Chain A
Amino acid sequence: GCNQSTITEFFGKL
């Protein structure tokens, strides 16, 4: 299966 990742795993909070 495929797990959906999230944006916040790639882009950090400023």
Chain B
Amino acid sequence: MLELRLVQGNLLKKVLEAVKDLVTDANFDCSSTGFSLQAMDSSHVALVALLLRSEGFEHYRCDRNVSMGMNLNNMAKMLKCAGNDDIVTIKADDGSDTVTFMFESPNQDKIADFEMKLMDIDSEHLGIPEAEYHAIVRMPSSEFARICKDLSSIGDTVVISVTKEGVKFSTRGDIGNANVVCRQNTTVDKPEESTTIEMHEPVSLTFALRYMNSFTKATPLSSTVTISLSSELPVVVEYKIAEMGYIRFYLAPKIED
């Protein structure tokens, strides 16, 4: 039996909006530590890792570790029916082949039950090493989303380079090329508007912009985004989920042949 009650139901709504276009079907794993998901897109170029820690739920009952296969589009359709201020509860009985999403309005005057069929999805979990990254950029998530959107109107790949000057996003295409340089800026009145760059050594990697634009659908989850780069690893684009966990997108680089 599992029953997870999330007072900030809109977090789950935003999570589904962030992943439903990247991954179609995925297993949600439920254990005593929390509610998580790890899945690759169909081309195995990107991977999304979600963690919602059990402490972040108002009520978290998970009698035994369980993995529930869900179609994320269908799940998103059901969560769209939840109000932004609704309390969302995820319920499933042991051995059941369905999961129920319950939406309660803040003043408890409306309660909705949406039951969805579960699927059998055989997915292997990948080992993601905790790595030392050559460069870690923290910046406003809206700014990162704007840069990815703007550059994708010029080219389809972005070179992200971190030097002591700052972080540079470059692209080129038929009509020309574009460079956006962001410098460290901590003299802002609101911390979430600051850009900080931690560089251990210069790094420069090339990525497909369409995946980056897909990742920025998670922008509503956090005012800041963290981009961690290392020359031998996929980039990690991370959005923290308020006091609950995170959603991390890993993107494999394009390698000069």
B157 touches A6 (CB 8 A): no
B255 at the interface (CB under 8 A from A): yes
Q: Which of B44-52, B69-77, B175-183, B215-223 contacts A (4 or more CB under 8 A)?
A: B44-52
B257 touches A11 (CB 8 A): no
Total A residues in contact with B, Cβ cutoff 8 Å = 14
Residue from the list A1, A6, A14 in contact with B125, Cβ < 8 A? A14
User: What are the interface flags for B115-143 relative to A under an 8 Å C-beta threshold, 1 for contact and 0 otherwise?
Assistant: 00000000011111100000000000000
Shortest C-beta distance, A14 to chain B (Å), equals 5
A5 touches B254 (CB 8 A): yes
Residue from the list B40, B157, B255, B256 in contact with A7, Cβ < 8 A? B40
Shortest C-beta distance, B173 to chain A (Å), equals 14
B256 touches A12 (CB 8 A): no
> Which residues on the B side are within 8 Å of A2 (C-beta)?
157, 206, 254-257
Residue from the list A1, A3, A6, A13 in contact with B124, Cβ < 8 A? A13
In the bound complex, CA of A13 to CA of B125 (Å): 6
> Which residues on the A side are within 8 Å of B206 (C-beta)?
2
In the bound complex, CA of A6 to CA of B253 (Å): 8
A3 touches B125 (CB 8 A): no
B233 at the interface (CB under 8 A from A): yes
User: Which chain A residue has the least Cβ–Cβ distance from B253?
Assistant: A5
A11 touches B45 (CB 8 A): no
B234 touches A4 (CB 8 A): no
B126 touches A6 (CB 8 A): no
> Which residues on the B side are within 8 Å of A3 (C-beta)?
254-255, 257
A11 touches B127 (CB 8 A): yes
B234 touches A10 (CB 8 A): yes
Besides A11-B127, A11-B234, 10 more A-B contacts (Cβ < 8 Å) are A2-B157, A2-B206, A5-B45, A7-B40, A7-B234, A7-B252, A8-B44, A10-B234, A12-B127, A13-B126
Residues of B bordering A, CB below 8 Å: 40, 43-47, 124-129, 157, 206, 208, 232-234, 250, 252-257
Which 6 residue pairs of A and B lie closest in terms of their CB atoms, listed nearest first?
Answer: A2-B254, A11-B126, A5-B252, A6-B44, A13-B124, A14-B125
